Amino acid sequence: MGLHQKRISVPRSWPTNKKDHYWIVKTNPGTHNYDSSVPLTVVIRDMLKLADNNREVIRVLHEGNVQVDGIVRRNFKFPVGFFDVVTIPAIDKSYRMLLDHKGRLNLHEVADGNVKLTQIKNKTIIKGGNIQLNLYDGTNILSDDVEVYNTKDSILLSLPGKEIVEHIPYKVGNLTMIVGGQHAGEIGAIKEIKPVRSSRHNAVIIEGNYEFETIEDYCFMIGVSKPAIDMGGV
């Protein structure tokens, strides 16, 4: 992969104008994959409008003025992805990265910047027989309740300590946000989970403003009867 990124070829999820300039900052490998994250420069300069150019962004970051999930980040190429919380202590504001109805990443100001919602992608047994939960954003935490937490469940973590505050199971009746496909950004309750006896993904019926079908890999649990986090008006 090249070190440079042409603006015209950025992923559709990036909320940028492709005709402003020829080049744009490229994300470094990190907590999110390339298609589902934007570099911190784009967040500070283009989305929050807190700087006019990359030089100003680097100065802001080097002074420790930006936190992602409660941790000070100084790398202007650091990837900021879905459900990450960006906090600017100097102005006492926090923003959560969410998807709009077109599947583009957007920041929404929230009041609960001290918690983060994430999904369990996998569980592994590590040395000593301990169970490790592998999370959506690439981080891992240890768990003693192996029977409680399952893949595709969501957990609410405190920031920056990442202690489990709430558990949201992947099951019928609970709320989910769709994070891929033509319904990306929509929210609804799971009406039915339809197992598929083939290599294809299981299907899920979602009931929201209207009823539609998607695949379970696009379902990100966000609450039981209501969202467990501030969705910034989404």
Q: Which of 144, 123, 135, 124 lies closest to 162, judged by CA?
A: 135
pLDDT at residue 220, as a whole number: 96
Contacts of 45 (CB under 8 A, 6+ apart): 51, 52, 53, 54, 56, 57
pLDDT tens-digit series, residues 171-183 = 999 999 999 888 9
Rounded average pLDDT over 69-91? 93
Does 95 score more than 50 pLDDT?
yes
Kindly tell me if the per-residue pLDDT of 154 is higher than 70: yes
More confident residue, 158 or 11: 158
Looking at the chain, the whole-number percentage of residues with pLDDT higher than 70 is 88
Could you tell me if 224 and 174 are in contact, meaning their C-beta atoms sit under 8 angstroms apart? yes
Give the pTM: 0.86
d(CA 120, CA 63): 33
pLDDT digits (tens, 9 = 90+) for 187-203: 999 999 999 888 888 99
What's the average model confidence in pLDDT over 79-92? 93
Res. 219 pLDDT band, cuts 50 70 90: very high
- Looking at domain 5-110, does it have CATH number 2.30.42.10? no
CB burial of residue 196 (10 Å; 0-12, 13-18, 19+): exposed
Q: What are the distances in angstroms from CA 169 to CA 71, 149, 180, 219, 231? A: 27, 8, 20, 12, 19
Confidence of residue 38 (pLDDT cuts 50, 70, 90): confident
Predicted confidence band at 6 (pLDDT cuts at 50, 70, 90)?
low
The mean pLDDT value for 18-40 works out to 74
Average pLDDT over residues 85-91: 95
Mean pLDDT (the chain) is: 87
CA distance 93 to 181: 31
Q: Per-residue pLDDT averaged across 128-156, rounded?
A: 87
Choose which CATH entry (2.60.40.10, 3.20.20.370, 2.40.50.140, 2.40.50.740) describes domain 115-168. 2.40.50.740
Residues counted in the chain: 234
Give pLDDT, residue 129.
77
Instruction: List the chain domain ranges.
Output: 5-110, 115-168, 175-223
CA–CA gap between residue 215 and residue 225 (Å, rounded): 21
Model pLDDT for residues 44-77, shown as the tens digit of each residue: 988 899 998 889 999 999 999 999 999 999 999 9
